């Protein structure tokens, strides 16, 4: 992984910009093109290099639609090159602030950026797909499962860039995704389609410090910071690997179903949850969100009681694993979903994730 930390960085608020290359690229090749962002944003720039993937099911999206390079290195859902590992490395080795981490990807990396943002929206303050697509399989028709995850981006600031003359990945893919997010009232969405811009980065001006796009992106990123202490969560998942968002998660997912969880922290001792497409819900508890002792939990209309007993050893382990104060926990409680629901509304669409119906309010 190629890394650049600008001189004079403010260590207390320094962030991390993880940049993902396209097919045939590498981290060392890409890093010099994004160094200019570092000092202006008070961020280290990290450019990992994708590796060959032996298990194609782990891929964020297949690189195969790039023709004969089907078996070229591509971004993996697991392993040491996985972009989340770069974020963790920045937090533990560079003291990057967890609330100031951005993922930017170009081409195949743009596909990865879309999919990382949708799956792990609670880990970043912003996502920037460049000349990418939600799913390259949409060249053959709508990828309903991927599009069902678009709702997860509603709480993640998203800046999408595409060249209007890109013939390798058509800008229509990003136009459709952006139009969908706009219809869902995404509050922090920006889309720039560069007139005459092609697939090559050099044709769209994103690396040129004198270009309007560069200045606009820097200004926009400089204002982004992840929100913490989230009281209400709405999250969809295709598998258990990304079933968690902040303090709640789904597990034991039903096959071929888009699982969904809508959770509300009603008070420090009460939670309301609606779950579909999964047989288990996990709660990641810590004492700044919940009071130790009895917590009443409503799951799909059925009430459960859990006993929150903070464990300092667990807190230390969770910090070592995540290096993120919003993902730390002092106890993990797994509860069965006794009333199984196949879906909450239509999970094959990108319709909004509604707030859970509950009697109480956050106190």
Residue 186 lies in a domain: yes
Residue 358 lies in a domain: no
Whether residue 208 sits in one domain with residue 248 = no
Provide the pLDDT for residue 342: 87
Whether residue 216 sits in one domain with residue 132 = yes
> Using CA atoms, how far apart are residues 72 and 63, in angstroms rounded to an integer?
7
Whether residue 297 sits in one domain with residue 152 = no
- For residue 232, the tally of other CB atoms under 10 A from its CB is 17
Whether 358 has a pLDDT exceeding 60, the answer reads no
Provide the pLDDT for residue 343: 77
> Using CA atoms, how far apart are residues 215 and 54, in angstroms rounded to an integer?
40
Query: Where is the domain boundary, 222, 249, 268?
Result: 222
Whether residue 34 sits in one domain with residue 174 = yes
Which residues does 231 contact at the CB level (< 8 Å), separation at least 6?
Answer: 264, 265, 362
Provide the pLDDT for residue 9: 80
pLDDT tens for each residue of 223-250 = 999 988 899 999 999 999 999 999 999 9
Whether residue 105 sits in one domain with residue 12 = yes
Q: Which domain holds residue 16?
A: 2-222
What is the total count of domains within the chain?
Answer: 2
Tell how many helices (H) and how many strands (E) occur in the chain.
Answer: 7, 16
> Using CA atoms, how far apart are residues 173 and 284, in angstroms rounded to an integer?
36
- For residue 255, the tally of other CB atoms under 10 A from its CB is 6
Residue 342 lies in a domain: no
Predicted confidence band of residue 72 (pLDDT cuts 50, 70, 90) = low
Q: Average pLDDT in the 247-255 region? A: 97
Give the CA distances from residue 214 to residues 10, 149, 202, 229, 279, in Å, rounded to whole numbers and listed in that order. 22, 29, 12, 32, 46
Q: Average pLDDT in the 263-274 region? A: 98
Cβ density class 41-52: b for 16+ within 10 Å, e for less: bbbbbbbbbbee
Residue 350 lies in a domain: no
Whether residue 22 sits in one domain with residue 153 = yes
Whether residue 165 sits in one domain with residue 245 = no
Distance of CA 348 to the CA centre of its chain: 20
Residue 189 lies in a domain: yes
pLDDT tens for each residue of 110-168 = 999 999 999 999 999 999 999 999 987 777 877 889 999 999 999 999 999 999 999 99
Residue 88 lies in a domain: yes
Task: For the chain, give the mean pLDDT.
Answer: 89
Whether 4 has a pLDDT exceeding 60, the answer reads yes
For residue 319, count CB atoms less than 10 angstroms from its CB and return exposed for 0-12, middle for 13-18, buried for 19 or more: middle
Q: What is the CATH number of the domain that holds 32?
A: 3.40.50.1820
Whether residue 16 sits in one domain with residue 36 = yes
> Using CA atoms, how far apart are residues 74 and 138, in angstroms rounded to an integer?
18
pTM of the model: 0.89
Contact 20, 103 (CB under 8 A): yes
Predicted confidence band of residue 13 (pLDDT cuts 50, 70, 90) = confident
Whether 199 has a pLDDT exceeding 50, the answer reads yes
Poorest-confidence range of 7-11, 22-26, 34-38, 309-313? Answer: 7-11
Residue 347 lies in a domain: no
Whether residue 65 sits in one domain with residue 31 = yes
Whether 42 has a pLDDT exceeding 60, the answer reads yes
Provide the pLDDT for residue 10: 76
Whether residue 274 sits in one domain with residue 138 = no
Whether residue 207 sits in one domain with residue 239 = no
Whether residue 209 sits in one domain with residue 309 = no
Query: Where is the domain boundary, 196, 222, 248?
Result: 222
Provide the pLDDT for residue 190: 98
Q: Average pLDDT in the 39-65 region? A: 73
> Using CA atoms, how far apart are residues 336 and 258, in angstroms rounded to an integer?
18
> Using CA atoms, how far apart are residues 99 and 340, in angstroms rounded to an integer?
35
> Using CA atoms, how far apart are residues 295 and 299, in angstroms rounded to an integer?
13
> Using CA atoms, how far apart are residues 2 and 88, in angstroms rounded to an integer?
15
Provide the pLDDT for residue 113: 96
Poorest-confidence range of 66-70, 103-107, 198-202, 333-337? Answer: 66-70
Q: Which of 129, 179, 193, 131 minimizes the C-alpha distance to 156?
A: 129
Residue 69 lies in a domain: yes
């Amino acid at each position: 992984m190629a890394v650049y930390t600008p001189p004079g960085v403010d260590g207390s608020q320094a962030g991390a910009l993880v940049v993902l290359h396209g097919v045939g690229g590498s981290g060392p090749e890409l890093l010099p093109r994004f160094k200019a962002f570092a000092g202006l944003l008070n961020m280290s720039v990290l450019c990992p290099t994708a590796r060959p993937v032996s298990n194609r099911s782990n891929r964020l999206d297949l690189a195969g639609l790039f023709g004969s390079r089907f078996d070229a290195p591509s971004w993996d859902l697991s392993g040491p090159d996985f972009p989340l590992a770069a974020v963790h490395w920045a937090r533990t080795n560079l003291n990057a602030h967890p609330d100031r981490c951005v993922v930017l990807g170009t081409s195949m990396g743009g596909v990865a950026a879309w999919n990382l943002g949708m799956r792990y929206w609670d880990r970043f303050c912003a996502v920037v797909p460049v000349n990418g697509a939600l799913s390259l399989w949409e060249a053959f028709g709508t990828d309903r499962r991927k599009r069902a995850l678009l709702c997860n981006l509603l709480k993640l600031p998203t800046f999408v860039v595409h060249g209007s003359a890109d013939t390798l990945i058509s800008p229509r893919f990003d136009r459709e995704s952006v139009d969908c997010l706009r219809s869902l009232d995404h509050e922090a969405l920006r889309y720039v389609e560069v007139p005459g811009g092609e697939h090559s980065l050099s044709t769209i001006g994103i690396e040129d410090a004198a270009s309007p796009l560069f200045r606009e992106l820097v200004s926009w990123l400089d204002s982004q910071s992840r929100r913490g202490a989230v009281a209400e969560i709405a999250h969809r998942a295709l598998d258990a690997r990304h079933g968690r968002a902040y303090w709640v998660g789904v597990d034991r997912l039903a096959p071929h179903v888009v699982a969904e969880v809508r959770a509300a922290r009603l008070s420090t001792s009460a939670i309301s949850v609606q779950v579909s497409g999964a047989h288990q819900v996990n709660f990641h508890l810590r004492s700044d969100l919940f009071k130790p002792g009895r917590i009443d939990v409503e799951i799909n209309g059925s009430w459960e009681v859990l006993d929150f007993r903070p464990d300092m050893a667990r807190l230390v382990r969770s910090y070592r694993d995540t290096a993120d104060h919003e993902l730390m926990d002092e106890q993990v409680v797994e509860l069965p979903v006794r009333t199984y629901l196949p879906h909450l509304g239509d999970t094959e669409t990108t319709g909004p994730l509604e707030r859970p119906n509950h009697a109480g309010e956050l106190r």
